[in-house]
Amino acid sequence: MNQPLIDFVRDALLRGVSRADIALALEKGGWSAKEIQAALDAFAETNLPVPVPRKRVSSSPKEAFFFLVMFSTLYTAAFAFGAMLFDLINLTFPQPSETASWRIQSLRFGIAWTVVAFPIFLWMSGLIAREAARNPGQRISPIRRWLTYLTLFVAATAIVGDLIALIVTFLEGDITLRFGLKVAVVAVLAGGTFLHYLRDLRRDEVAPSAAAPGRASVGAKVAFAGLVAAVVAVVAMGVWYAGSPMRARLLAQDRQRVQDMQTIYWRVEQHYRDKGQLPASLAACDISPATFVERKKDRVTGEPYVYRAVDATHFEVGATFALASAPEESARRRYSIGGPESDGFWRHDAGPRMFRIDVARKKR
């Protein structure tokens, strides 16, 4: 803050000049309204005949830690929540060329980040609000103001990028419901954050002492409850789409079984190319490193994988699966580099499943 300006205001108040007259004189001297208000706010309004300086706030390591944690968890929760909404939109309105497997994986990461970051953000916000109620000067803390302006910058950048993407997509004639929902998500998240912190910052700049929080207003309580309810609802929807942890575990086990089936297929096919005939058993493949089958048993149940030669060029491999193939699992296997090339070949139901393979198909 400009020291000559502070000295002038202090001397004027000491001589009994009113704040309005001081502001008018400074305005004629070329000072901005913000500078004038900051200089006047440097002194408390009291009935004493001498000006009483307000306490100047400096950032302590503890305060810096609190604000850094709060704003970093805000960014993390906002981006994770937005990514989770994007994944839900993509899963609800899929493109024909898209597969759901990596969307489900991304959705799980979004759920995890939101569940961790959002409660920490709420907790740190509560701690800072209670501290500001005891010490109103903390609301004009330098680090708080810097991080708030950084948040405004990030939010404004997101809004501008959102509008640019909307205009470009409109000009390309590719406006769809899916795209419109994504634009709305970015606008609501970035716009809500921008307006909240801009209003908070303006209130502090106009009258820092008056901005000290007391009891939360009814509107603030309703907004807080709505925010928490929205996050809980979206997380619950994400869990429903992604499936329970137990289901994810069983799907992962089935995915490993399919990978083992593919490995057996590769080794048996290599044996056929080398020897000109199918092996009588999987043990017969162990004669060469190129055909060695490492996993002949299910690693979960310990049951041996089924292999049998049907005729000179056909064989079957099989396993017992815990669940039926999920749509995203079928899509994942459709584009797998290992295994017969027909779409959905490795699709299976729950229980025993045999896969019949023709090793001579590539020669025809």
User: Per-residue pLDDT averaged across 194-220, rounded?
Assistant: 66
**Strand ranges (E), 61-161:** none
Q: What pLDDT is recorded for position 91? A: 83
Whether 115 has a pLDDT exceeding 90, the answer reads yes
pLDDT in the model for residue 341: 56
Whether residue 57 has pLDDT greater than 60: no
- Residue 10 contacts residue 51 (beta carbons within 8 Å): yes
What token pair was written down for 304?
A: 């041996």
**pLDDT range class, residue 233, cuts 50, 70, 90:** very high
Distance CA 281, CA 297 (A): 13
Asked if 267 and 139 count as a contact pair (C-beta separation under 8 A), the reply is: no
User: Nearest 5°: CA angle at 312, between 311 and 316?
Assistant: 50
pLDDT of residue 139: 64
C-alpha separations of 330 from 70, 103, 133 in Å: 42, 14, 56
Task: Please give the structure tokens belonging to residue 234.
Answer: 């979206």
Mean pLDDT of 283-311: 90
Indicate the pLDDT class of residue 318, thresholds 50, 70 and 90. Answer: very high
